[in-house]
Structure 1
Amino acid sequence: MITLAGSHRRATCERAGRTHFTLSTMLRHLVFAAILKEASCVQPEAPPPKAAPLRELPWAQLNFLHTTDVHGWWGGHLQEASYSADWGDYVSFAKHLRDKADADGSDLLVIDTGDRVEGNAIYDSSKPRGKFTYEIAKEQHIDLISSGNHELYKADTAEGELLHTVPDFAGNYLASNLDIYNPKTGKLQPLAPRFKKFTTKNQGIRILAFGFIFDFTGNANNTVVQRVADTVKEEWFTEAITDRDIDLVIVFGHVDIRSDEYALLFKTLRTVYWDTPIQFFGGHSHIRDYKLFDAKSVALESGRYMETLGFMSIDGLSTGGSEKQAPAPQKSKITFSRRYIDNNLYSMHHHSGKDEKSFPTKHGLDASKAIGDARKSLDLSHKYGCAPHDYWVNRRPYPHNESIFTLLEEQLLPQSIASSPHLQSGSKALVITNTGGIRFDIFKGAFTKDTKFLVSPFTSALRYIPAVPYKAASQVIKLLNNEGPIVLEMMAQNAFMQPPEVHAARFRPHILQSHTHIPTKYHYDQSPLTAHDAELFPGYTTHDDVGTDGDDTIHTEIKFYNVPNCIQSTVGFKLDDEHEPETVDLVYNEFIQKWVLLALEYAGRRYADGDTRSWEGGKSFTDIMTDWVGEHWGGEC
């Protein structure tokens, strides 16, 4: 069933969206605003969600809420109405769904599959990093939780997982193929337990759970990621799957659901549990997706950046029984259902059956206050400049005057590098950076400290190799971007330079084309409300293995475009100059140094790490970008 969620009085902190309004829409939002003055807002800077037609949650016997790749967006999206709810709202939402499960005798499990860090100023600008993140994250009751790759890039971040997140979620944090050197003992140990067998609260559903990370190779040297293919041969794993007293196997983790790792895990488990349902939860790709393995096994992936709350349900499972319910056999048909919830209060109120008065819980409000206090203490609203218009990561083709990569290539990088004292002596340079280092769009208006870390959260600095023969240096960008030996080597190492959601298209080519659309007929008995009832506006229109009806909110389509691995700027000359330079300084983001050196070797010039130099004393790209914004986008918005 599809409904128009709620009434206009349902908006606790519903704030105006970034869209063009008709007069009637404007009047509706004036009504919203009048109500909101009497409401207790959580993150008051954020815009309110808009009324939209919603699909119901397919509530069933066993239900799940799933987050992944939060990347520190605890405060939600302060410039996007569809994703404006914060972590505190999610705490309240999960509480209401747990209460619903307790009331009707079903069960609810909450799952997070990693990459909670790096990508937002609440984490990246705090000192020490994680100062606020650990306290905020643990406010949610999470039943199964794992690490992502971003928890492992730096040794201190990995230690933070061991010392904070693992004990905060003791018994629920699993690490099936991840070890860490304990900083106190120096000994290698599992980051957390390898697996877990437990029963659900209300029905006694017996679950065997594993928590994995993909075959990651870029981790700091205080952690060890074991290949999944090796893990399934371990004695502990083969022994764990001898347990036949199981109603459901859950495999969750920071793994693309269409990856070789999950394909292998499904094959291995299915040979033992030939008739037992197997539920996968994934992450890492920053997209919404749902995969069918077979009639009794599916996988859910739930987006990124607190844009999506994944909902999953299963009906027909056998149970072990509880004090209130007798054991039950497995039904002849297992039914799996999914829903991708837009993370805003409009959706949350409707799906929880609450309104502006009954929705907030004290626990949720406390978590929201902690997020607001963290933002204030970090001065995240500090303004560096004003963006003249929107710049997109992949909502515009590249090149395009609204592509963030065209902005970098044609203005920010050449102007920043040209102002360096080193190049003022007449040297020429090629500047290369990977597109995956840019994590989010820039919206027209204030460019704040918050924006700075949303767009570029990483600490990578620029490095350079002086006086590289131009004929070799000019081949680097081609080798990094074209299909060839370097790209094949990156694939072998699970190392990629593009944004995750672009890289995900290797398994899903349709996501970078305009094949998805809002269908004219839905898989429901009731037709959707039309634009006459509520205006459709751009948002996710997901196409997965079972169709196009997975998103809870019905949107018009947003087109996404491919971008290259890397972009290149010239400084002191142009590519079409009649006379090319003999040598250039080759400047690049240090994150891609390994691949730059390999490309030069393929181009006939061998350089080692010791031949590279720090650019401008190790100044990060993030700070270079921020200085450029202050110089070129100054003034009032």
Structure 2
Amino acid sequence: MRQKADELGVDVLLVDTGDRVEGNGLYDGSDPKGKYFYDIVREQEIDIICTGNHELYQIDAAAREYDLTVPNFKGKYLASNLDYINPKNGETIPMAQRYRKFTTKNRGIRVLAFGFLFDFTGNANNTVVQPVAKTIEEPWFQEAIREDVDLFVIIGHVLLHGPEYKAIYKAIRSQNWDTPIQFFGGHSHIRDFKKYDSKAYGVQSGRYMETIGWMAIEGITGKGKKEKPRPLDARASMTFKRRYIDNNLFGYHYHTGLNDTTFSTEHGKKVSKMIHKARKALDLDYSFGCAPRDLWLNRAPYPSSDSIFTWLETEVMPDVIVNKERKDTPTLAITNTGAMRFDIFKGPFTKDTTYIISPFVSKFLYIKDVPYKAAKGILQLINRGGPVFEATEFSLSQLAPPEQMSILTDILVPQIPIHGAHKSGGAQVPFLLSSNEEPNLVPGYTTKDEGGDDGDDTIHAPIPYFRVPNVIQSALSFPAEGEPEKVDVVFVDFIQPWVLLALRFMGESYSAGDVEVYTDETLTDLMADWIKRNWKKDC
């Protein structure tokens, strides 16, 4: 694409908005994590890169980001509101440079770029995330937005419709009322598009690198070259067009005009060899068992036999949540639905699959001998929410799959196609053709956003979407009749603050000092062990 851009006399920028770690065996499958991953990632020619929340959950992950990824992309890694605490002297320093100013190669467009993270509070204690509202008041930012440039590019692990980007947009417009602004967002796992004004737009590229978000801007006159640029339309006639390209070779071949024979470059072949070598070394294709059916994260209602959460709640957790010293004690075991990140497909369940489905290193903790009258209210309270959580930094949106931040209702695919059916609010919704027009389509993204319903590069059959609760629960070792007086409350470590808040609301004064380790094994390991014991080996 860079070669094609050079031939056309235009510029192409590649941006990465974070969450590169966790959720794939190339990172999670080694000890230490990322043994092969960082060398593979640095082979990409990324122009602007920033941090996601997943790079910051664990102390060692944040340290590797600072020690490896930042220098691997020196001058291109931006951390506008993120600091790192130097372990040698305790000094708080920027994770990377705050912004970048550069001139594009072909059009001479003077770009000023920032890299932000949303107001994240779950980061490890060797990092500091400064609220965006505070960052934009700092002298360096105020000086930067007063620069005479042709384009502002703001990348970030930030929702396009969230308060952080709204604040940044207003700050820039207060000093540069006419300069084009392009936002690139992330975190909520949807394809999304937002218009801030006629010269300021934002695009978000889905999740898990399933989507290449393509944004084409025409009408910018670059002033960064001495030679006279090719005549372009005035700013008043600028256009911003987005495209959501499915991340597969078919799309790449189509847009590059190449094919199986001509597409691969020598550098690309080298990186492919690195990936294959790493996968083999990590034994990522090892199969724990054969999934007898598809289990869906959001494509099936909960509860139902096709829901991955029903399977986890009724089959897996009752069998694997065990502490030998407490095995006969009535127990409520709780996990958040956001701990599961993808569907299970019928067929081989491999080592790589375990990290795709459940990438986190969450262990199970517990509070012993909790009065059952209080413990039984935890599930309902966390799922329904209320003032007890609204008044704290522990937003319930952190517990469920990230898509639910933007998809506020179930999306049902009608049996009889209804032309133009959609839901407002920028979520992914069915785009339906009439029965006479409908070809044989593969299920996939069918996006409706602020730009309309023409953003998807490939037309797909619509997929239903069912919202799920924030947490699910299994009751273990309960008496055959009646209710126990006390129970052990077991939960994944990530949700400890919410469990303690819920118990406090129920009249119990438990604190972190009352929490103990229930098992050292992670949910990922326990799930893999269950599959190994319960699903047949060969498909």
Cα distance in structure 1, aligned partners of 2:146 and 2:402: 36
SS in 2 for 1:209: strand
Give, as a single letter, the amino acid of the residue that structure 2 aligns with 1:260: P
Is the contact made by 2:432 and 2:462 (CA closer than 8 Å) also made in structure 1?
Answer: no
Give, as a single letter, the amino acid of the residue that structure 2 aligns with 1:256: L
Is the contact made by 2:205 and 2:211 (CA closer than 8 Å) also made in structure 1?
Answer: yes
Is the contact made by 2:382 and 2:396 (CA closer than 8 Å) also made in structure 1?
Answer: no
Cα distance in structure 1, aligned partners of 2:430 and 2:522: 41
| Correspondence for 1:385 among 265, 289, 295 | 289
Cα distance in structure 1, aligned partners of 2:471 and 2:38: 33
Give, as a single letter, the amino acid of the residue that structure 2 aligns with 1:472: A
Q: What is the aligned partner in structure 2 of residue 136 from structure 1?
A: 40
| Correspondence for 2:149 among 246, 249, 260 | 246
2:269 is the counterpart of 1:365: yes
Q: Provide Cα deviations, 1:62-121, integer angstroms capped at 9, x if missing partner.
A: xxxxxxxxxxxxxxxxxxxxxxxxxxxxxxxxxxx1111100101100000001001111
C-alpha deviation, 1:504, in angstroms:
2.8
Q: Provide Cα deviations, 1:522-550, integer angstroms capped at 9, x if missing partner.
A: xxxxxxx9556xx2111100110011110
C-alpha deviation, 1:224, in angstroms:
0.7
C-alpha deviation, 1:455, in angstroms:
1.0
SS in 1 for 2:274: helix
C-alpha deviation, 1:267, in angstroms:
1.1
Is the contact made by 1:202 and 1:324 (CA closer than 8 Å) also made in structure 2?
Answer: no
Cα distance in structure 2, aligned partners of 1:628 and 1:377: 24
Cα distance in structure 2, aligned partners of 1:136 and 1:491: 36
Q: What is the aligned partner in structure 2 of residue 300 from structure 1?
A: 203
SS in 2 for 1:619: strand
2:188 is the counterpart of 1:275: no
Q: What is the aligned partner in structure 1 of residue 458 from structure 2?
A: 553
2:310 is the counterpart of 1:397: no
Q: What is the aligned partner in structure 2 of residue 32 from structure 1?
A: none
User: Structure 2 stretches of 5 or more lacking a match?
Assistant: 414-421, 423-428
Cα distance in structure 2, aligned partners of 1:430 and 1:626: 21
Is the contact made by 2:219 and 2:235 (CA closer than 8 Å) also made in structure 1?
Answer: yes
Is the contact made by 1:477 and 1:566 (CA closer than 8 Å) also made in structure 2?
Answer: yes
Q: What is the aligned partner in structure 2 of residue 237 from structure 1?
A: 141
Q: What is the aligned partner in structure 1 of residue 530 from structure 2?
A: 628
2:35 is the counterpart of 1:117: no
Match runs of 1:476-625 below 5 Å: 476-489=378-391, 496-505=398-407, 509=408, 512=411, 515=422, 516-520=429-433, 535-573=440-478, 579-616=482-519, 618-625=520-527
Cα distance in structure 2, aligned partners of 1:440 and 1:613: 29
Is the contact made by 2:221 and 2:229 (CA closer than 8 Å) also made in structure 1?
Answer: no
- Tell me which of the two structures has the higher relative contact order, counting C-alpha pairs closer than 8 angstroms and 6 or more residues apart: 1
Give, as a single letter, the amino acid of the residue that structure 2 aligns with 1:538: P
C-alpha deviation, 1:486, in angstroms:
3.9
2:58 is the counterpart of 1:154: yes
**TM-score, length-normalised on structure 2?**
0.93
SS in 2 for 1:478: helix
Give, as a single letter, the amino acid of the residue that structure 2 aligns with 1:456: S
Match runs of 1:3-402 below 5 Å: 97-243=1-147, 245-320=148-223, 322=225, 325-326=228-229, 330-402=234-306
C-alpha deviation, 1:379, in angstroms:
0.4
Cα distance in structure 1, aligned partners of 2:523 and 2:228: 58
Cα distance in structure 2, aligned partners of 1:167 and 1:371: 21
CA distance 1:295–1:519, change in 2 (3 Å): farther
Count of aligned pairs between the two proteins? 524
Is the contact made by 1:202 and 1:325 (CA closer than 8 Å) also made in structure 2?
Answer: no
Range that drifts further, 478-487 or 553-562:
478-487
| Correspondence for 2:368 among 466, 481, 486 | 466
**TM-score, length-normalised on structure 1?**
0.79
Give, as a single letter, the amino acid of the residue that structure 1 aligns with 2:201: V
C-alpha deviation, 1:483, in angstroms:
2.7
Q: What is the aligned partner in structure 1 of residue 332 from structure 2?
A: 430
What is the RMSD computed on CA atoms of the aligned residues?
A: 2.0
CA distance 1:624–1:486, change in 2 (3 Å): farther
Q: What is the aligned partner in structure 2 of residue 77 from structure 1?
A: none
Give, as a single letter, the amino acid of the residue that structure 2 aligns with 1:427: T
SS in 1 for 2:13: strand
Is the contact made by 2:51 and 2:117 (CA closer than 8 Å) also made in structure 1?
Answer: yes
SS in 1 for 2:288: strand
Is the contact made by 1:437 and 1:456 (CA closer than 8 Å) also made in structure 2?
Answer: yes
Q: What is the aligned partner in structure 1 of residue 418 from structure 2?
A: none
SS in 1 for 2:12: strand
CA distance 1:293–1:368, change in 2 (3 Å): same
CA distance 1:366–1:324, change in 2 (3 Å): farther
Is the contact made by 1:480 and 1:486 (CA closer than 8 Å) also made in structure 2?
Answer: no
Give, as a single letter, the amino acid of the residue that structure 2 aligns with 1:476: I
C-alpha deviation, 1:495, in angstroms:
6.2
Give, as a single letter, the amino acid of the residue that structure 2 aligns with 1:545: E
| Correspondence for 2:317 among 413, 422, 428 | 413
Q: Provide Cα deviations, 1:367-410, integer angstroms capped at 9, x if missing partner.
A: 11111111100001111111110111111111111100000111
